[in-house]
Chain A
Amino acid sequence: MTRIGPWFRVPVCAAVLSLAAAGCGGAPPFAAAAPPPGDPAAGKRVYVRCIGCHSPARNRTGPRHCGLFGRLSGTVPGFDYSAAMKKAAITWNAETLDWFLLDPMEAIPGTSMTFAGVKDARERRNLIAYLATLDADSQACRSVAAKLRKEG
């Protein structure tokens, strides 16, 4: 299947109506490298809801978020994940995050991220755009940047 972003979903779905069940209703896989369509500054404000358990650069009650994009679920060194999260083996990108963050416990039954989720689609989009900024070049991740580069 072509790897396309959700902002192309409407025209693509129109073109492949016969595949509606696989495409339009559900969620096409997302190109990991594509920048997610959202406002990272607005997303940073949504991220306030995550800071009870997460921080970009440190493992806390939840794992650190620096380097999240492109990472396999359950793989931050030194964090004690649930068996469910490790088994899920999901590569985090805009698409998989959108699905997970809507309702984490429904998406991955058995996860220890016991949080109701971010129900508003626009808030999720912005939040994901912010999470995407947490790469080795970002200021919030500078302290772990060397480690991130080593981990690839």
Chain B
Amino acid sequence: MKPNNASEHALLIETAQDSRRRFLRQAGTATFSGIAVALLGGCTITRAAGTSTASDADDAVAKDVRILNTAVAAEYEAIAAYQVGAESGLLKPQVLKVALNFQSQHKQHAEALASAVRKLGGEAADPKTHYNFPVDKLKSQEDVLQFAAGLERGAVSAYVGAIPLFDHRELSGAAASILADEAMHWAVLRHALGLDPVPQAFYS
């Protein structure tokens, strides 16, 4: 990000220094995924302009932690859903491979988001012990794919609705990169279902 005037530049320096003090106390030995390093790691976490006082900053951090944790919760649900699909015995081997690959990407998303929560000094949400999936409705490969497609479609909207809310712009960028991945999942699942994989130009 290039500052385009002096005061913005000063703000960036201030927030970077503040970020270092405030958020990076626990940064250290943990290994982060590529996205976490590039977008959520180091002193690249800077706040958007407009949050200059300490208590504003605390509010902003608490808010971003909440946004991240809601996303973590949704990612855990997706991981569990793909597990149900994978264990259903309904998926053909080739399809199962794709499903497990998508699941592993959701795991990476959950890890990156949870590590961002910890970097901000928050406590990451845990997976639920039980998800009430409508398993009685999953009777064929198509049912499983439709179920997964619904979750991925929902995830696209959830990220669209979260991205503008972050105070730390890097987190918006990170969430956008997750959105891109999950939108691809949705398109592939739709294709597998024989539907138009990309039915529109815009999604809200």
A interface residue numbers (CB < 8 A to B) = 48-53, 58-61, 82, 105, 110-117
Contacts and interface: CB of A to CB of B under 8 A. Distances in A.
A39 to B, nearest CB: 18
B153 A51 contact: yes
A58 B132 contact: yes
B165 A52 contact: no
6 contacts: A48-B157, A51-B154, A58-B134, A60-B131, A61-B77, A116-B165
A115 B161 CA distance: 5
Contact of B150 (A51, A105, A112, A113): A51
Interface in B157-177: 157-162, 164-165
Contacts of B154: 48, 50-53
**B: interface residue count bin:** 20 to 34
Nearest to A46: B204
Contacts of A52: 74, 151, 153-159
Contacts of B22: none
A50 B63 CA distance: 20
A61 B161 contact: no
A122 to B, nearest CB: 14
Nearest to B159: A52
Contacts of A110: 66
A114 B157 contact: no
A119 B133 CA distance: 30
Q: Label chain A's interface by main secondary structure.
A: loop
Nearest to A105: B165
B73 A116 contact: no
B67 A61 contact: no
Contacts of B158: 52-53, 115
A78 to B, nearest CB: 9
Contacts of A51: 150, 153-154, 157
B69 A49 contact: no
Contact of A112 (B66, B153, B160): B66
B83 to A, nearest CB: 16
A42 B127 CA distance: 34
Interface string B160-204: 111011000000000000000000000000000000000000001
A116 B150 CA distance: 20
A23 B81 CA distance: 47
Interface in B49-83: 63, 66-67, 69-71, 73-74, 77
A124 B204 CA distance: 13
Nearest to A84: B66
Nearest to B163: A116
A111 B165 CA distance: 13
B74 A49 contact: no
B149 to A, nearest CB: 11
